């Protein structure tokens, strides 16, 4: 009985950090995606021992446990779809230690990612992964989703900067993976297995992150194009021209208009596409690379190119890019955010297909994203109370996924599968591919306690976005 296990939880967790009333649990029903599911209890964990005890109890009583950071997931990752306990680590942020001599950071799970950026910066070091949500999302959420961001183009994603973890297994045992060394091939790489496992294989309670020297200099270019396909083509060309930008972000006309209406940043709104480019490195080398990039962009049909001289001007442009996601929901209340990724050479083809899908389904489809690494964010702005519109959205989403996979791409570059993309897993992996993943899950979590109802499709499951 529910009451019985909640009584047992009270013995394990301090009163103020165990929430059980529907009103207190309500805000844990949502994340940054779709749907709402009320948990029976929320534990605001603050130690490895507490997490271990909760998981041991959950195993004895067969109660689902849903790890959660700040709930900014775009794929339904922390949603308690089968009730049970939400295990919130967002209050657990006591440790953020930088060890400059080893060039590592050791962090508690609830540390906010941008706090790691700031602390590393104080030591002239850099933690490169920079999801656009870095000012709110936790490192645990980033690790579980293997988050990326604009800098992924040159520096890679979260998994490339994690060298050690402390993890509580679904059965409540505590393990350490990797360590503080840059090289480590002792046994299977469990660190990499846990990163991106979406909270289904273990609860991360501490991480050791690799840091790198901060680049000596950084410059930004803003380049506009008359058409989205031209911009896509320019991105592909630039990437094969021996210039290696640290960021290359795309915004289509709808994104530009939304940002300007939301909080004016002086972006042009009369062009179909804008690319923000960041180059970093030695200042002398950068001057030459900027000249090369400007020349190449002109040859590729750019309408306007500007290179801000002052860091504050460049910062303003990057802040405007971060505003796209919140800005686009001013038009309609529902946002279906996708993050398909295609090989870089296929960016123009994917742009063409998105334009076609937008026209055929008559939807408000906005395109922006970390286009330099092929990761586009087609976002459909709609109203979930409008059944007819949502039916068109469901069909459009399916076509977006089909197009990405046909072009040699993937369903998700960084947001994860969660509840939102599980119906499409077979399209990319095939049944045997899914079965091999299920076997790993079964070995780690025989009772399916940790984050059940995610990633693997139920038989015949389809994407349903209509509110019934
Ligand atoms: C405006 C906006 C912009 C975004 N931009 C980006 C972007 O540029 N790049 C990107 O990759 N993502 C982006 N995201 C998505 C989201 O921010 C990331 O997925 C982020 O990593 C989630 O962190 P969180 O703390 O909110 O975790 P949550 O959303 O709470 O959880 C995410 C997943 O992590 C699991 N989890 C949480 N804590 C633990 C733990 N201790 N152990 C094991 N599993 C755990 C959860 O079960 C869930 O599956 C964006 C989201 C928003 C709203």
Q: Are residues 222 and 305 in the same domain?
A: yes
- Is ligand 1 within 6 A of the CB of residue 70? yes
Ligand 1 centroid, distance to 91 Cα (angstroms): 15
Q: Are residues 230 and 264 in the same domain?
A: yes
Please determine, for residue 371, whether its predicted confidence score (pLDDT) is greater than 90: no
Give domain status of residue 102, yes or no.
Answer: yes
User: Which two three-digit tokens encode residue 202?
Assistant: 């273990």
Q: Residue 465: which pLDDT band, with cuts at 50, 70 and 90?
A: confident
- Is ligand 1 within 6 A of the CB of residue 80? no
Give domain status of residue 68, yes or no.
Answer: yes
| Cα–Cα distance, 367 to 377 (Å, whole number) | 6
- Is ligand 1 within 6 A of the CB of residue 128? no
Ligand 1 centroid, distance to 145 Cα (angstroms): 6
For the segment 408-415, the average pLDDT, to the nearest whole number, is 96
**Which element (helix H / strand E) includes 431?**
helix 425-444
Residues whose CB falls within 8 Å of the CB of residue 56, separated by 6 or more in sequence, listed in order: 171, 172
The confidence score (pLDDT) of residue 278 equals 97
In 222-242, which positions are buried (b, 16+ CB within 10 angstroms) versus exposed (e)?
Answer: bbbbebbbbbbbbbbebbeee
- Taken in order 340, 342, 346, 347, the sign of the CA dihedral is positive
Ligand 1 centroid, distance to 182 Cα (angstroms): 25
For the segment 190-207, the average pLDDT, to the nearest whole number, is 98
Give domain status of residue 422, yes or no.
Answer: no
The confidence score (pLDDT) of residue 431 equals 95
Other Cβ atoms less than 10 A from the Cβ of 287: the count is: 13
Atom of ligand 1 lying closest to residue 51 CA: 41
Domain stop point among 213, 235, 255? 213
Give domain status of residue 304, yes or no.
Answer: yes
| Cα–Cα distance, 107 to 115 (Å, whole number) | 10
Atom of ligand 1 lying closest to residue 150 CA: 8
The confidence score (pLDDT) of residue 382 equals 95
Give the CATH number of the domain where residue 119 resides. Answer: 3.30.465.10
Give the CATH number of the domain where residue 345 resides. Answer: 3.30.70.2740
- For the ranges 18-32, 366-380, 387-401, the lowest mean pLDDT is seen at 366-380
Q: Are residues 105 and 136 in the same domain?
A: yes
Q: Are residues 203 and 284 in the same domain?
A: no
Q: Are residues 130 and 183 in the same domain?
A: yes
User: Which two three-digit tokens encode residue 99?
Assistant: 């060890």
Q: Nearest Cα to 279, choosing from 368, 153, 163? A: 153
- Is ligand 1 within 6 A of the CB of residue 415? yes
What is the value of pTM for the model shown? 0.96
The confidence score (pLDDT) of residue 35 equals 87
Atom of ligand 1 lying closest to residue 67 CA: 47
Q: What is the pLDDT of residues 106-147, one digit of tens each?
A: 999 999 999 999 999 999 999 999 999 999 999 999 999 999
Q: What is the pLDDT of residues 255-282, one digit of tens each?
A: 999 999 998 999 999 999 999 999 999 9
For the segment 217-224, the average pLDDT, to the nearest whole number, is 97
Give domain status of residue 351, yes or no.
Answer: yes
Give domain status of residue 369, yes or no.
Answer: yes
Q: Residue 432: which pLDDT band, with cuts at 50, 70 and 90?
A: very high
- Is ligand 1 within 6 A of the CB of residue 203? yes
- Is ligand 1 within 6 A of the CB of residue 137? yes
**Do 350 and 309 meet the contact criterion of CB atoms below 8 Å apart?**
no
Q: Nearest Cα to 72, choosing from 156, 140, 150, 152? A: 140
For the segment 62-70, the average pLDDT, to the nearest whole number, is 98
Give domain status of residue 270, yes or no.
Answer: yes
Q: Are residues 105 and 196 in the same domain?
A: yes
Q: Are residues 150 and 232 in the same domain?
A: no
- Is ligand 1 within 6 A of the CB of residue 377? no
- Is ligand 1 within 6 A of the CB of residue 157? no
Domain stop point among 275, 294, 320? 320
Residue with tokens 């349903």, as numbered in its chain:
464
Q: Residue 161: which pLDDT band, with cuts at 50, 70 and 90?
A: very high
Give the CATH number of the domain where residue 221 resides. Answer: 3.30.70.3450
| Cα–Cα distance, 456 to 424 (Å, whole number) | 9
Range of the domain at 237: 217-320
Q: Are residues 83 and 108 in the same domain?
A: no
The confidence score (pLDDT) of residue 466 equals 78
Give the CATH number of the domain where residue 75 resides. Answer: 3.30.43.10
Please determine, for residue 1, whether its predicted confidence score (pLDDT) is greater than 70: no
The confidence score (pLDDT) of residue 460 equals 86
Q: Are residues 226 and 315 in the same domain?
A: yes
- Is ligand 1 within 6 A of the CB of residue 231? no
Other Cβ atoms less than 10 A from the Cβ of 191: the count is: 21
| Cα–Cα distance, 199 to 214 (Å, whole number) | 31
Please determine, for residue 51, whether its predicted confidence score (pLDDT) is greater than 80: yes
Higher pLDDT among residues 39 and 242, named by residue = 39
Q: Are residues 298 and 371 in the same domain?
A: no
Other Cβ atoms less than 10 A from the Cβ of 323: the count is: 18
Q: Residue 468: which pLDDT band, with cuts at 50, 70 and 90?
A: low
- Is ligand 1 within 6 A of the CB of residue 72? yes
For the segment 299-323, the average pLDDT, to the nearest whole number, is 95
- Torsion of the alpha carbons at 120, 124, 127 and 133, rounded to the nearest 10: 70
Give domain status of residue 243, yes or no.
Answer: yes
For the segment 172-183, the average pLDDT, to the nearest whole number, is 96
Ligand 1 centroid, distance to 362 Cα (angstroms): 30
Q: Are residues 251 and 157 in the same domain?
A: no
- Is ligand 1 within 6 A of the CB of residue 452? no
The confidence score (pLDDT) of residue 249 equals 94
Domain stop point among 290, 320, 350? 320
- Is ligand 1 within 6 A of the CB of residue 78? yes
The confidence score (pLDDT) of residue 182 equals 93
- Is ligand 1 within 6 A of the CB of residue 178? no
- For the ranges 105-119, 162-176, 324-338, the lowest mean pLDDT is seen at 324-338
Q: Are residues 198 and 225 in the same domain?
A: no
Other Cβ atoms less than 10 A from the Cβ of 178: the count is: 18
Domains in the chain: how many in total?
4
Using CA positions, which residue lies closest to atom 32 of ligand 1?
A: 141
Using CA positions, which residue lies closest to atom 21 of ligand 1?
A: 142
The confidence score (pLDDT) of residue 236 equals 87
Ligand 1 centroid, distance to 198 Cα (angstroms): 9
Please determine, for residue 376, whether its predicted confidence score (pLDDT) is greater than 70: yes
Using CA positions, which residue lies closest to atom 13 of ligand 1?
A: 131
């Amino acid at each position: 009985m529910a009451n019985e296990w909640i009584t047992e939880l009270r013995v394990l967790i301090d009163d103020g950090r165990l929430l059980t009333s529907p009103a207190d649990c309500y805000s844990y029903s949502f994340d940054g995606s779709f749907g709402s599911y009320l948990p029976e209890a929320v534990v605001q964990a603050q130690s490895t021992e507490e997490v271990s005890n909760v998981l041991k109890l959950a195993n004895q009583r067969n109660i689902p446990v849903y790890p959660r950071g700040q709930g900014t997931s775009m794929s339904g990752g922390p949603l308690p779809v089968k009730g049970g306990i939400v295990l919130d680590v967002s209050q657990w942020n006591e440790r953020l230690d930088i060890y400059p001599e080893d060039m590592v950071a050791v962090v508690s799970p609830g540390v906010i990612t941008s706090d790691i950026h700031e602390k590393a910066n104080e030591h002239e070091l850099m933690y490169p992964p920079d999801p656009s949500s870095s000012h709110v999302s936790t490192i645990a959420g980033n690790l579980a989703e293997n988050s990326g961001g604009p800098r992924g183009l040159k520096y890679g994603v979260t998994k490339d900067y994690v060298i050690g973890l402390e993890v509580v297994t679904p059965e409540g045992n505590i393990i350490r993976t990797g360590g503080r060394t840059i090289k480590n091939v002792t046994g299977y790489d469990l660190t990499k297995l846990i990163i991106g496992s979406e909270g289904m294989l273990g609860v991360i309670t501490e991480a050791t992150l690799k840091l790198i020297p901060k680049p000596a200099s950084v410059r930004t270019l803003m380049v506009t194009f008359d058409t989205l396909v031209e911009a896509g083509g320019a991105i592909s060309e630039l990437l094969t021209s021996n210039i290696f930008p640290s960021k290359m972000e795309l915004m289509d006309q709808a994104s530009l208009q939304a940002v300007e209406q939301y909080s004016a940043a002086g972006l042009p709104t009369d062009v179909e596409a804008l690319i923000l480019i960041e180059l970093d490195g030695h200042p002398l080398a950068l001057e030459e690379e900027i000249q090369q990039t400007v020349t190449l962009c002109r040859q590729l049909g750019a309408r306007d190119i500007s290179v801000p001289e002052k860091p504050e001007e460049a910062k303003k442009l990057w802040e405007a890019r971060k505003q796209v996601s919140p800005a686009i929901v001013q038009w309609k209340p529902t946002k279906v955010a996708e993050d398909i990724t295609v090989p870089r050479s296929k960016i123009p083809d994917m742009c063409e297909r998105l334009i076609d899908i937008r026209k055929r389904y008559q939807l408000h489809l906005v395109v922006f994203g970390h286009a330099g690494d092929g990761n586009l964010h087609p976002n459909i702005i709609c109203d979930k109370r409008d059944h007819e519109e949502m039916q068109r959205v469901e069909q459009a989403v399916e076509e977006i996924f089909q197009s990405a996979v046909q072009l040699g791409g993937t369903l998700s570059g960084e947001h994860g599968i969660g509840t939102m993309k599980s119906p499409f897993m077979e399209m990319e992996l095939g049944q045997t591919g899914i079965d091999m993943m299920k076997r790993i899950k079964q070995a780690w979590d025989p009772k399916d306690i940790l984050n059940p109802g995610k990633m693997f499709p139920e038989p015949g499951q389809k994407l349903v976005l209509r509110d019934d």
